[in-house]
A and B are shown apart, each in its own frame.
Chain A
Amino acid sequence: MSDRPRVEAQNLTASYHGKPAIREVSLSFQANQVHALIGPSGCGKSTFLRTINRMHELTPGATVEGSVLVDGKDIYTSGINPMHLRRHVGMVFQKPTPFPTMSIFDNVAAGLKILPRSERPLAEVVEEALRGAALWDEVKDRLNKSALSLSGGQQQRLCIARTLAPGPTVILLDEPTSALDPTATQRIEELLYKLKSKYTIVIVTHNMQQAARLSDTTSFFYLGELIEHADTKSLFTTPQKERTEAYVTGKFG
């Protein structure tokens, strides 16, 4: 059971208007680890991330070939409802995106309100998600305040709490700290490190130090192709491909 990867891409090609952004990518992620996707901008790492929760297809003209398996099931077959998939594969974006019309509480509850009513009280799940995102102590006295009253780093943790609340198994993060200051970045990194005990985390980052600090495995993308995938330590210390070495040693990109 634990041998089966949580997420597995097979010969995956994703295109915009017929132009492939990633070509023939095969890659798998084990559960309860942090997986980093690195590479110069435009290399397809974000596109790849967005194929895992089928956000890619929302862009006009976007198409996908090949398959992505989540817990062994192909998510690109006709029986899959992307809306339901996305409750299992949550996503956090580059810039914090709290819903501006909602309170802190309602933001966290946003994903729960569209689920069938669970037996657990809403407030309990919200608190758990906020604790999970290490935000509870900072906001517990002002849950009814606007989400926009929070700082940038708090807003991003709020978005993580919002993603945790519906109970996903996989969390995708698309450069989640690139809009934050170093202190806020550090808090998010600590948080992600803790979260991997419960979730499978895939993070896109342009920051190699972040990948090295945080992840268990790292995949290097270049010009739409997966160049190398290995456990993080060996990818950074003994890369097998020249391109990878050039990139991780800062020779280009």
Chain B
Amino acid sequence: MINSRRVRRWTSNLMVGVVGLTVLIGILPLFLILGTLVVKGAGSLNLAFFLETPAPVGETGGGVAHAIVGTLLIVAVACLMGLPIGLAAGIHAAEFPGTRLSRATRFLADVMNGTPSIVVGVFAWTWVVARQGHFSGLAGSVALALLMIPMVMRTTEELILLVPNALREAALALGYSRWRTSLTIVARTALPGLVTGSLLAVARIAGETAPLLFTALGSQFMRTDVTQPMSALPLAVFAYATGPYEEWHRLAWASALVLILLVLFLSLLTRLATRSRFGSHE
């Protein structure tokens, strides 16, 4: 009896140790990946890497300025399309929560969130590229916007619902109209959170590759016209990584490091923003 008790306690401690070990195994890849990126990528980062376009094949040097510019443009245009829709739909779901439309959008946004990004890429291809007759950064933006809308919508809804109803009532009791209450009081109170949520969505889409493969396509040149094919950092990583040259592999690591710095910077920013709780000081 006493013996079995000891066995049970011993088993318990052992199992706690085992699940503790899973944490180490789980986190290990993060350090391995980030470590490799720094080791293999950091050496190639210099001013030229950020300011120059690729050198001709066979020559060393050159940079990914075209891909950085491409990513910024494609993501910016995606935000112009995706943010207003996501915010409006999110505010709608929070302000009119019981309506059939908001229940439907909530469910469908979850469906969209689970849709593989490659499928969204195919959609952007049939919708924009096939009709335009050529690849374009714009088509890539459309695909990224579609990925962004459900994320922005759901966080917007959640954050608006966090604002105490008492504030809404106080504004209405002052004679505020509904729209003014929603925008200048409720949404304004949730604003830091909304910015955070949007940044998180931007971080997510900035790293997407699959939806850009046959929309933005990629390019070796600096392009600022979004109706033309253009490069993006994830596309550059993919092209360089799967290419045959040693020099390209070096560029792949460096581009990946830049990409991850961009994405992690945005994620960290949002993390800090949420930590400092909204509205505490002005």
Contacts and interface: CB of A to CB of B under 8 A. Distances in A.
A–B interface present (Cβ within 8 A):
yes
B279 A162 contact: no
Contact of B174 (A58, A60, A90, A146): A90
B238 interface: no
Contacts of B281: 146
Contacts of B176: 83, 111, 114
A112 to B, nearest CB: 9
B167 A99 contact: yes
B173 interface: yes
A93 interface: yes
B166 A95 contact: yes
Contact of A58 (B170, B172, B180): B172
B282 A162 contact: no
Contacts of B174: 86-87, 90, 110-111, 114, 162-163, 166
Given A60-B98, A93-B166, A100-B189, A114 B280 contact: no
A1 to B, nearest CB: 26
Interface residues of A, number: 28
A32 interface: no
Contacts, number: 70
A111 B175 contact: yes
Nearest to A100: B279
A85 B281 CA distance: 33
B177 interface: yes
A210 interface: no
Contact of A114 (B166, B180, B278, B279): B180
A91 interface: yes
A176 B191 CA distance: 29
Interface in A46-86: 53, 55, 58, 60, 83-86
A100 B281 CA distance: 8
A10 interface: no
Nearest to A145: B282
A15 interface: no
B195 to A, nearest CB: 13
A221 B167 CA distance: 27
A146 B185 contact: no
B134 interface: no
A86 B188 CA distance: 22
Interface in A153-190: 159, 162-163, 166
B171 interface: yes
B111 to A, nearest CB: 27
Contact of B173 (A55, A99, A100, A101): A55
Interface of A: 53, 55, 58, 60, 83-87, 90-91, 93, 95, 97, 99-103, 110-111, 114, 146, 148, 159, 162-163, 166
18 contacts: A83-B177, A86-B174, A86-B175, A93-B170, A97-B166, A97-B170, A99-B189, A100-B189, A101-B188, A101-B189, A101-B279, A110-B174, A111-B176, A114-B175, A114-B176, A159-B170, A163-B173, A166-B174
